Chains A and B, each alone.
Chain A
């Protein structure tokens, strides 16, 4: 999958970020190549979400660079980076809770399809917005829940809605922070199948604790411990890596 001759879509070099004395990101180097799913695993508090937040523009790194499609992202905000093609989901769902599922996705379709500075045409009469959003909901299997306010959706449905929002942006890379969290075994299985097909659309940086999903999906895995990448490799390499087993996988895998 990883053709080293091609340029990485996302390239993180020597990234550092501390919160006071805590080194949340400690010299991270990481790449994401076209067509791959690169899983980022590590124990709680390892700094996985902090890394995602720096890529998405929410937190500024202390030092180091993040290049996306060859461009240095330094100084760009969250919205700029989304426009460049970073499609992100949150570990804890982040939605417009009063809006229906449909209107949440319509927001993403709207952002993708031109200006938000249009003051007169009602969005619900804009077929492109409504149909475009509906299509995304169908992809994640939420079409029957389209008109339910996000606040009333179940936890799992909100996770699906987050994915639909990211899909609607037609991103050039996905940053998915624990998409399986709290999905239940059935949901996880469905989502695993779905994400597997997504890599052809855009590469995925996948933060995930669900090891079945990670081993099924990942082309490469990086292991983050105390802000450092202690190992990067294929599924088999990571499974066989002694440091990783001690630091993270423990006795579960043999």
Chain B
């Protein structure tokens, strides 16, 4: 039985509003807003990924740009090889690029998952500020690697000339591409909600509240956290792959520390640990960016003010403000 709590109701409204946005934009003949709505949906996915680690697990990763960027580069590299008819590898076996989104997503998940396994293995031995710094350091390593590696554009980035393909969908059609992002967003939110209510989620939330208690009942907090970190990274990488396709461009900016900060802002603004928090957070961020960004170069300053307000006066973010404090069973 679905309990239609205030928060569930709000979530439905938010989902419908986001879904309606590109159609309203079309009706108003403002195609630019379709792109904005698509950006929101895609970036929200990155936030949903981080929210799993940050919100449920209390793992304040300041390095999620690494996974976002890896997803982006997976798309960019595979597509550029396919479009240039250059194999990625020719010996010992031939490995070709691809423009199939499904394959690209799979590679993005795989690569980011492995990277998160490695990064998490080392950084999850620390906590608090040390964890924040170590995840940042790992992400910066990958960032500098991308900048200094000329094969894929280095600092200049890498263009994808046509959007990658998905069977049965015209990905160059803005609304169709929006729908891909929207459906994936709903799926990752559904997945997060299942995790939250599952045995795994119970252990994860207990690890955040009191890891001594979790260990005392016989569950290793480390394994739970590492698994979470990997899943969280994979979701964020999926977002990165879509983001690359949206812009048809990948650059080291996707890997930079301010991208990590941006993803974290989505989560905090919307409400840490709330299912639809990243959706609201990403939407607000992009609204502020596009409204104030046009008026003032200092839009980040206004964003900072909003963020300060949220942290000081609305600890549950916008969702917490609208739907009240979260209730556990």
Name the residue of chain A whose CB is nearest to the CB of B212: A94
What's the least CB distance linking B161 to chain A, in Å? 39
Chain B residues with CB under 8 A of A82 = 215-218
Task: Knowing A112-B218, A124-B329 are in contact, say whether A99-B195 is a contact too (CB < 8 A).
Answer: no
A78–B329 touching, CB < 8 Å: no
A96–B329 touching, CB < 8 Å: no
Chain B residues with CB under 8 A of A119 = 194-195, 198-201
Asked if A116 is at the interface (CB within 8 A of a chain B CB), the reply is yes
Asked if A106 is at the interface (CB within 8 A of a chain B CB), the reply is yes
Task: Knowing A103-B329, A116-B219, A149-B328 are in contact, say whether A96-B199 is a contact too (CB < 8 A).
Answer: no
Chain B residues with CB under 8 A of A95 = 210, 213
A103–B328 touching, CB < 8 Å: yes
A118–B215 touching, CB < 8 Å: no
A96–B224 touching, CB < 8 Å: no
Chain B residues with CB under 8 A of A100 = 328-329
Count contacts between A and B, CB distance < 8 Å: 113
Asked if A79 is at the interface (CB within 8 A of a chain B CB), the reply is yes
Q: Looking at chain B's contact residues, is the secondary structure mostly helix, strand, loop, or mixed?
A: helix
B218–A118 touching, CB < 8 Å: no
Task: Knowing A82-B218, A96-B209 are in contact, say whether A115-B202 is a contact too (CB < 8 A).
Answer: no
B216–A56 touching, CB < 8 Å: yes
User: How far apart are the CA atoms of A236 and B33 in the complex, in Å?
Assistant: 85
B184-216 interface (Cβ within 8 A of A) = 194-195, 197-203, 205-206, 209-210, 212-216
Task: Knowing A97-B210, A99-B206, A110-B202 are in contact, say whether A117-B218 is a contact too (CB < 8 A).
Answer: no
For this complex, into which size category does the number of interface residues on chain B fall? Answer: 20 to 34
B198–A123 touching, CB < 8 Å: yes
Name the residue of chain B whose CB is nearest to the CB of A56: B216
Asked if A120 is at the interface (CB within 8 A of a chain B CB), the reply is yes
Chain B residues with CB under 8 A of A210 = none
A169–B199 touching, CB < 8 Å: no
Chain B residues with CB under 8 A of A107 = 202-203, 206, 213-214, 217, 219
B213–A94 touching, CB < 8 Å: yes
What's the least CB distance linking B212 to chain A, in Å? 5
User: How far apart are the CA atoms of A168 and B219 in the complex, in Å?
Assistant: 14
Name the residue of chain A whose CB is nearest to the CB of B326: A98
Contacting residue for A121 out of B199, B203, B218, B329, CB 8 A: B199
User: How far apart are the CA atoms of A116 and B215 in the complex, in Å?
Assistant: 12
Name the residue of chain B whose CB is nearest to the CB of A57: B215
User: How far apart are the CA atoms of A98 and B196 in the complex, in Å?
Assistant: 14
Name the residue of chain B whose CB is nearest to the CB of A113: B199
User: How far apart are the CA atoms of A119 and B199 in the complex, in Å?
Assistant: 6
Name the residue of chain A whose CB is nearest to the CB of B221: A79
What's the least CB distance linking A97 to chain B, in Å? 6
A96–B213 touching, CB < 8 Å: yes
Contacting residue for A99 out of B197, B198, B200, B328, CB 8 A: B328
Asked if A189 is at the interface (CB within 8 A of a chain B CB), the reply is no
User: How far apart are the CA atoms of A171 and B172 in the complex, in Å?
Assistant: 61
A96–B198 touching, CB < 8 Å: no
Task: Knowing A94-B210, A96-B210, A111-B218 are in contact, say whether A117-B227 is a contact too (CB < 8 A).
Answer: yes
Q: Find the residue from B199, B216, B329 having the highest chain A CB count within 10 A.
A: B216
Chain B residues with CB under 8 A of A48 = none
A97–B209 touching, CB < 8 Å: yes
Q: Which 4 A-B pairs have the closest CB atoms?
A: A82-B218, A78-B215, A122-B197, A96-B209
What would 17 A/B residue contacts be, using CB atoms closer than 8 Å? A78-B212, A78-B216, A79-B221, A82-B218, A96-B205, A103-B328, A103-B329, A106-B202, A107-B202, A107-B206, A108-B218, A116-B200, A120-B198, A124-B197, A149-B328, A165-B217, A169-B217
